[in-house]
């Protein structure tokens, strides 16, 4: 099953239309699309504007391919669950976001095992077919919680107002 998500913040009709077009051309493969508040409503796959967290998590756990925008929440959850991911960044020039931070995030995460970044709708559609036929190597995963040393350092800073590097000084 393919789970596609635009996140909860902004519409991403270019993404939704591309996934829906792929679903039209590949009716044998189950697809579910979380579309947010966009104008385009899929015609060839079941969808919901917003998916409650528990259902979102179940869909993510059960999918063979996670197709998403380049949002940190999507990336971190996909890595945590070791899902192969196909990601399309929103672009400010297309009025899909106010900045190009998703392009910068894509550049930073483009080398991570288990995910592929694409630049446009055609590459997104082609990527879905490619990754179903030839899955990416599994990601190394990501723990669901921050390391204890990190939370200890944050707690120290909040208690003392000093950098943890200054302990003992």
The pLDDT of residue 108 is: 80
In-domain check, residue 71: yes
* Containing structural domain, residue 80: 2-142
Task: Judge if pTM exceeds 0.85.
Answer: no
Structural domain includes residue 95: yes
Residue 163 lies in a domain: no
Cα(90)–Cα(109) distance, integer angstroms = 15
Mode of pairing for the β-strands spanning 115-117 and 2-5: unpaired
Could you count the other beta carbons within 10 Å of the beta carbon of residue 19? 29
Domain assignment present for 10: yes
Q: What is the mean pLDDT of the chain?
A: 88
Residue 75 lies in a domain: yes
CA distance linking residue 164 with residue 149, whole number of Å: 10
Q: What is the pLDDT of residues 1-24, one digit of tens each?
A: 999 999 877 788 999 999 999 999
Q: Work out how many domains the chain is built from and give that number.
A: 1
How many C-beta atoms lie closer than 10 Å to residue 18's C-beta?
A: 23
Predicted confidence (pLDDT) per residue in 93-105, tens digit: 656 566 666 766 7
Give me the CATH number covering residue 92: 3.40.50.2000
Which pLDDT band holds residue 165 (cuts at 50, 70, 90)?
confident
Q: How confident is the model at residue 112 (pLDDT cuts 50, 70, 90)?
A: confident
């Amino acid at each position: 099953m393919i789970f596609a998500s635009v996140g909860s913040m902004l519409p991403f009709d270019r993404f939704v239309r591309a996934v829906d077009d792929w679903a039209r051309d590949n009716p044998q493969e189950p697809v579910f699309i979380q579309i947010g508040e966009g104008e385009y409503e899929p015609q060839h796959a079941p969808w919901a504007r917003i998916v409650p967290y528990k259902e979102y998590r179940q869909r993510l756990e059960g999918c063979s391919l996670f197709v998403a925008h380049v949002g940190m929440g999507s990336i971190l959850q996909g890595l945590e669950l070791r899902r192969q991911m196909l990601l399309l960044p929103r672009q400010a020039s297309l009025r899909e976001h106010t900045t190009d931070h998703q392009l910068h995030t894509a550049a930073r995460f483009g080398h991570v095992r288990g995910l592929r970044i694409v630049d446009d709708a055609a590459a997104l559609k082609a990527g879905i077919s490619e990754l179903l036929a030839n899955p990416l190597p599994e990601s190394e995963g990501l723990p669901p919680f921050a390391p204890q040393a990190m939370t200890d350092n944050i707690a120290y800073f909040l208690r003392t107002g000093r950098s943890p590097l200054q302990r003992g000084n």
